[in-house]
Structure 1
Amino acid sequence: MSTEKQLFTISVYTENNIGLLNRISAIFQRRHINIESLNISPSEIEGVAKFTIVVNMIEDNVKKIIGQIEKQVEVIKAYYHDLDEIIYQISGLFKIKSELLFEERQIQNIIKESNARIVTVNKEFFVLEKSGKKEEIIELYNELSPFGIMQYTRSGLIAISKDEMKISTLLETYNN
């Protein structure tokens, strides 16, 4: 077991109750652990939410955090994975002046080479969307920056495990 800090993705399957996010974030706050990214979405089972939390810490501490999270009444099950054990994506949105799309050939090349897609275009601006690894989104940001980015945002990491987590079986019994 490594004593070196690394990125871990924590998946928490839970009832989506008011106040649960505050209690889960308090678990990290009490230990002075910064949450790198957080996403909450429906899971594969109706009525069950999935929290995807990315943290940078040692594995021993992740195990302790999982134990604390699972003590929350609404939490059905929590898992953790390192980045090699998951398939993940991050999305970035970039708002840029429309005139650049038509006047700067290099912008068109950047869009094509990065596999970004144009979400919308109007007279004032266009919006690009790029999904991929964090490094890919940052690289696109760096390429577009010299032209001027009007607005930019990046999502939290969303992930599914490479291994079967047997959560579906657990959740089916939970719902019956």
Structure 2
Amino acid sequence: MQKEYTVTVYTEDRIGITNRITIIFTRRGINITSLTTAETEIPGVYKFVITVMSTREKLDKVVGQIERLIEIHRAFVHEEDEVVYQELALYKISTKALHTAGDVEKLIRENNARILTITADYFVIEKTGHQQELTDFIKKLEPYGLIEYTKSGRVAIVKWSRRFHEHLKELDKSVASY
């Protein structure tokens, strides 16, 4: 049965590694719905957070293929309850909403969002949350003159990753001693 999974991949910083990882998903017919990458707390080690709809069986095979790439330290498949995650959304709203009936400022507070910038023509709201929360907020903002919306990919921390992170820190120390 297909469901949403989060795949985390720890890799060295190499040109073309994103392409090499995504091709493995493509060859298996798995669509990536979100991909975020950033350096970890260990210099030179990057973490890919990949969200996909698939079966566990298919993903286990994909992770096995990914780990065979030379630049990969480790790759993992996670169920939703194994990760703490958020996404970030930005909403551009017409400044007229600040002057019309209805309390957009109250709506922003009630939804744990914040205003990032205000110009003569628009203002930008930032909200973090899960995908459904962010899309629900769009519906609430539409009456106020929603101009534009954009969302990041998933940012996630694995609940049980401590041992692996200790391994990465040891690796970092051994590389630094050369």
Bin the TM-score by the shorter chain. Answer: over 0.9
Whether the aligned pair in 2 keeps the contact of 1:86 and 1:161 (CA below 8 Å) is yes
Pair 1:60 & 2:57 matched = yes
Alignment equivalent of 2:34, drawn from 21, 27, 37: 37
Partners in 2 of 1:141 and 1:104 — Cα distance?
Answer: 18
Whether the aligned pair in 1 keeps the contact of 2:97 and 2:145 (CA below 8 Å) is no
SS at match of 1:103: coil
SS at match of 1:105: coil
Alignment equivalent of 1:109, drawn from 72, 85, 106: 106
Pair 1:9 & 2:33 matched = no
Pair 1:90 & 2:87 matched = yes
Partners in 1 of 2:150 and 2:112 — Cα distance?
Answer: 18
Whether the aligned pair in 2 keeps the contact of 1:98 and 1:122 (CA below 8 Å) is yes
> In structure 1, what is the equivalent of residue 47 of structure 2?
50
Partners in 2 of 1:27 and 1:78 — Cα distance?
Answer: 13
Alignment equivalent of 1:170, drawn from 167, 172, 175: 167
> In structure 1, what is the equivalent of residue 136 of structure 2?
139
What TM-score comes out, normalization by structure 2 length? 0.92
What is the aligned residue count?
Answer: 173
Partners in 2 of 1:10 and 1:174 — Cα distance?
Answer: 22
Residue segments in structure 2 that go unaligned for 5+ positions in a row: none
| Most deviating of 15-24 and 108-117 | 108-117
> In structure 2, what is the equivalent of residue 160 of structure 1?
157
Partners in 2 of 1:91 and 1:29 — Cα distance?
Answer: 26
SS at match of 2:18: helix
> In structure 1, what is the equivalent of residue 117 of structure 2?
120
SS at match of 2:51: strand
Alignment equivalent of 2:22, drawn from 5, 22, 25: 25
Tell me which stretches of 4 or more aligned residues in structure 1 moved more than 3 Å. none
Cα gap change, 1:43/1:91 in structure 2, threshold over 3 Å: closer, same or farther? same
Root-mean-square deviation (Å)? 1.2
Partners in 1 of 2:81 and 2:169 — Cα distance?
Answer: 28
Partners in 1 of 2:25 and 2:98 — Cα distance?
Answer: 43
Percent of residue pairs bearing the same amino acid type:
39
Cα distance, 1:170 vs structure 2: 1.9
Partners in 2 of 1:28 and 1:120 — Cα distance?
Answer: 38
Cα distance, 1:165 vs structure 2: 4.2
Whether the aligned pair in 2 keeps the contact of 1:97 and 1:125 (CA below 8 Å) is yes
SS at match of 1:95: strand
> What is the letter of the counterpart of residue 32 of structure 2?
I
